[in-house]
Amino acid sequence: MMNRNDEPIPLWRQLNATAAVVLAVGEGASGTAAVDNVPSDLRPGVQALAFQVWRNLGRAQALRKKLAPRPPPPAVDALLSVALALAWNPADAPYDMFTLVNQTVEAAKRSPSTKPQASFLNACLRRFLRERDDLVAATDADPVAYWNHPAWWIKRLQQEQPAQWRDILQAANRHAPMTLRVNVRKTSPTDYLASLQQAGIAASGGQDAAIVLERPIGVQHLPGFEQGWVSVQDAAAQMAAPLLLQGLESGANLRILDACAAPGGKTGHLLELTDGRVLALEIDPARTSRIGQNLARLGLQATVLTADAARPQDWWDGQLFDAILLDAPCTASGIVRRHPDIRWLRRESDIAQLAGVQKRMLDALWGLLRPGGHLLYCTCSLFLAEGGGQVQTFLTHNTDAVLLPSPGHLMPRSVAKGQVVPDNEPCDHDGFYYALLQKRMA
């Protein structure tokens, strides 16, 4: 890693910053916020290391318990866990194990919070180098170490998805592809694939307007990105706008509500597909600004408000909507391959708390929909309480609601080249839930 002055950044600095990020998440901060606090010259390297640590943190913590049954101070524990997460699997290690060990000890010596324990860290890691195979084998029977997810998460998936839970956990530990959504107002998937080929960027067409890059690149290198030709959006997330509009007459008079709109990906997709009037809500002012920025790049317009969708009395003008998109707040358990910190940040109690928020939002927004209109309820969650269970409860209490054909739970899946998948599913996607509801005519 080089800094802005083209001088190599010592690995020990990156390891110290990575340990601070991992410790912050362990104390309840989001990974995104923790990485944003890292100095800009360190940030790209630290993010890459932190993501790898979170994908291997269960194994690292199990190994630490073997090496040091008595937990060391939190800062020391974080640095030791970082080293073990990066080094335990030589085939996946970003550096050779001896370099990682030496630089971890150097990192400990350079920080006041870990310097007194530098010898302890050195002893633990040298023992790990000597006994690696035996220590790894001794932790294989620990589900948290083997699957690198919290025990409650694994158990819940085993209960709710008995046939798929292994595949779901394996997919969650793989790197997500960079998937693009083509703005069909400005170009076509076929033409954009040709533009990518001309630019020397390997890609393949997915479902509808989705394009999957062979490897991630900076958006500044994408042809026409600043001109709004494409957006970065997961293949499962790209299903939302077409689903909501399915069966509705398109036109300038169509009134659409995007109830939890930030950062504006689905808002933009709706406007790419219809000339209707879109109201986009977001409760967080900082995130609201991102909606406007994304729409400006696409050359599209919506009414954007900072408001709580669950409190229509604060923002609703009394006119019913033809379509409502409710991408509800959730555990985000379906997008852990993109945000691997989430699995260690969430607690099982969060599911019930968020399910309560989802219920309140569904109840509040249902009354704003015209008879015959559509409400698309979706979450990027794996758990039934935030998906099928939530919708079944809603249908029981709202007899004027009809569940139209919907994808239901889409579990995260990584697909090997040449593998055949159903025509109605994107080939490589995050975990999502979709239920398309229609209000009965009076």
Q: What is the CATH number of domain 11-146?
A: 1.10.940.10
In sequence order, the β-bridge partners of residue 360 are: none
- Distance set, CA 274 to CA 82, 131, 181, 269, 270 (Å): 48, 62, 16, 9, 6
* Least confidently predicted of 182-186, 203-207, 218-222: 203-207
pLDDT, position 412? 86
CB 360 within 8 A of CB 412: no
Instruction: Name the token pair of 431.
Output: 């975990």
- Does 391 score more than 60 pLDDT? yes
The mean of the pLDDT values for the chain is 93
pLDDT, position 61? 97
Pick the closest to residue 85 from 119, 39, 48, 31 (CA basis): 48
Residues sharing a CB contact under 8 Å with residue 237, sequence separation 6 or more, in sequence order: 265, 266, 380, 430, 432
% of the chain beyond a pLDDT of 70: 94
Show me where the domains of the chain are located.
11-146, 179-232, 237-439
Using alpha carbons only, give the angle 58, 60, 66 rounded to the nearest 5 degrees.
Answer: 110
- Does 395 score more than 60 pLDDT? yes
415 pLDDT tier (thresholds 50, 70, 90): low
Residues sharing a CB contact under 8 Å with residue 134, sequence separation 6 or more, in sequence order: none
% of the chain beyond a pLDDT of 90: 90
Pick the closest to residue 128 from 87, 96, 93 (CA basis): 87
pLDDT, position 427? 64
What's the rounded mean pLDDT across residues 382-406?
Answer: 97
- Does 4 score more than 70 pLDDT? no
* Least confidently predicted of 206-215, 266-275, 344-353, 417-426: 417-426
CB 393 within 8 A of CB 359: yes
Dist CA 357 CA 332 (whole Å): 14
The pTM of the full predicted model, rounded to 2 decimals, is 0.92
pLDDT, position 249? 80
Pick the closest to residue 18 from 129, 93, 119, 104 (CA basis): 104
Q: Which residues are the active-site residues?
A: 380
Q: What is the CATH number of domain 179-232?
A: 3.30.70.1170
Number of C-beta neighbours around residue 48 at 10 A: 14
What's the rounded mean pLDDT across residues 188-198?
Answer: 95
pLDDT, position 420? 45
Residues sharing a CB contact under 8 Å with residue 384, sequence separation 6 or more, in sequence order: 160, 409
Could you name the CATH architecture of 237-439?
3-Layer(aba) Sandwich (3.40)
If you count them, how many residues does the chain have?
Answer: 442
